[in-house]
Amino acid sequence: MGVTVNGRTKTLGVIGNPVEHTLSPVIHNELARVYNHNVVYLPYLVDGSVGDAIRGAYALHFGGLNVTVPHKTEVLQYVVEVDEFAKRIGAVNTLVPAEGGFKAYNTDIPGLYRGMLSDGVNMDGEDVMILGAGGAARSVAMLALDKGAKQVYILNRTVSKAEEIAKEINAYAGREFVTAMALTGYPKLSGKKYLCIQATSVGLYPKVEDVVIEDSEFYDMIHTGYDIIYNPYETRFMSLVKAHGGRAFNGLKMLLYQGIIAYELWNDISVSEEVAQQILGKMKEALGL
Ligand code: ATR
């Protein structure tokens, strides 16, 4: 590690349960090394009071904190301010020290978007399909609205969950922007090519053969597929998109850029694309890729 720990070293870290598999220390300690910042980033298991952990970190003058599963919503009660975009998403992952406590941000979703841009994919004017209707899917639908997508179709096993998201986002948008559907509903959408975001945990290691939709006709409709999963590096969803002539990307860049955006907030810098690629290399090394 590049940093010489001394009396001026600032502490950064991530709280979660579990935390032992996090790649965040790799991202942040490498950024600290590149920029010669006197900070260290450590994982903290929080399996008791989240409020105590947050208050403790603030009292200890932490330079910033990431928050991961399962604390991303609960933590909202213990901060002094919430960024506007994060409020709409309803989950936060980054805390920045402010007057009297932390201000909370969501960098996961801006991270996904920055990853897309770095792959040359934009949401502007796109017809978007989202698989799943959990927190991640809801956030992606909100991002699509923010970034000028033409329309969004949420396909989910439990249609009522997709309908709830559609209702909420359409009320916010003031128009029929999101349409909810069953997983079998996609034939109605044929005739166009879509940007499709796989926002479920289906296909995650060790169940690498699982995929939400198998049908070949579905994959013919996708020009670009994003999976929020990065383990395995190529999911079955991605393989199917590619086999049908589309481009496919995994969730590793989302993870990279959520970290980079957090680091930028904490240290008031902008990280170049060149450095981002360097950090991505370190992450792949850590994953044994
Ligand atoms: P998160 O909040 O992290 O996004 P979640 O709330 O657990 O995750 O949501 C997981 C999503 O994956 C849900 O949309 C779920 O579908 P249901 O709403 O029908 O439960 C979807 N999902 C999980 N396992 C699935 C499977 N085997 N087939 C299809 N969809 C699945």
User: 101: Cβ below 6 Å to ligand 1?
Assistant: no
Indicate whether 134 and 223 sit together in one domain.
yes
User: 2: Cβ below 6 Å to ligand 1?
Assistant: no
Total domain count, the chain: 2
Indicate whether 95 and 134 sit together in one domain.
no
User: 133: Cβ below 6 Å to ligand 1?
Assistant: yes
Residue 90 sits in a domain whose CATH number is 3.40.50.10860
Annotate 138-189 with three-state secondary structure.
Answer: HHHHHHHHHCCCCEEEEEECCHHHHHHHHHHHHHHHCCCCEEEEEHHHHHHH
User: 212: Cβ below 6 Å to ligand 1?
Assistant: yes
Give a yes or no: residue 279 inside a domain: yes
End-to-end CA distance of the chain: 21
Rounded CA gap, 212 and 237, in Å? 8
Above 80 in pLDDT, residue 2? no
Beta carbons within 10 angstroms of residue 208's beta carbon: 14
Rounded CA gap, 130 and 54, in Å? 33
Tokens of residue 288, six digits:
């044994």
Indicate whether 18 and 95 sit together in one domain.
yes
Mutation to probe ligand 1, out of 200, 215, 226, 235 (largest number of atoms < 8 A from CB) = 200
Indicate whether 97 and 178 sit together in one domain.
no
pLDDT (mean) for 78-86 = 97
Catalytic residue numbers, as ranges: 72
Residue 201 sits in a domain whose CATH number is 3.40.50.720
- Structural domain that includes position 79: 10-106+253-286
| Nearest partner of 252 among 70, 134, 118, 149, judged by Cα | 118
Indicate whether 130 and 231 sit together in one domain.
yes
Indicate whether 87 and 193 sit together in one domain.
no
Q: Whose CA is nearest to atom 6 of ligand 1?
A: 134
Give a yes or no: residue 195 inside a domain: yes
Give a yes or no: residue 101 inside a domain: yes
pTM exceeding 0.75: yes
Tokens of residue 92, six digits:
């936060």
Indicate whether 59 and 99 sit together in one domain.
yes
pLDDT (mean) for 60-74 = 96
Ligand 1 atom with the shortest distance to the CA of 132: 14
pLDDT (mean) for 208-229 = 98
74 CA to middle of ligand 1, Å? Answer: 20
| Nearest partner of 200 among 273, 118, 98, 132, judged by Cα | 132
Give a yes or no: residue 1 inside a domain: no
Give a yes or no: residue 5 inside a domain: no
Indicate whether 242 and 269 sit together in one domain.
no
132 CA to middle of ligand 1, Å? Answer: 6
Per-residue model confidence as pLDDT tens digits over 90-149: 889 999 999 999 999 999 999 999 999 999 999 999 999 999 999 999 999 999 999 999
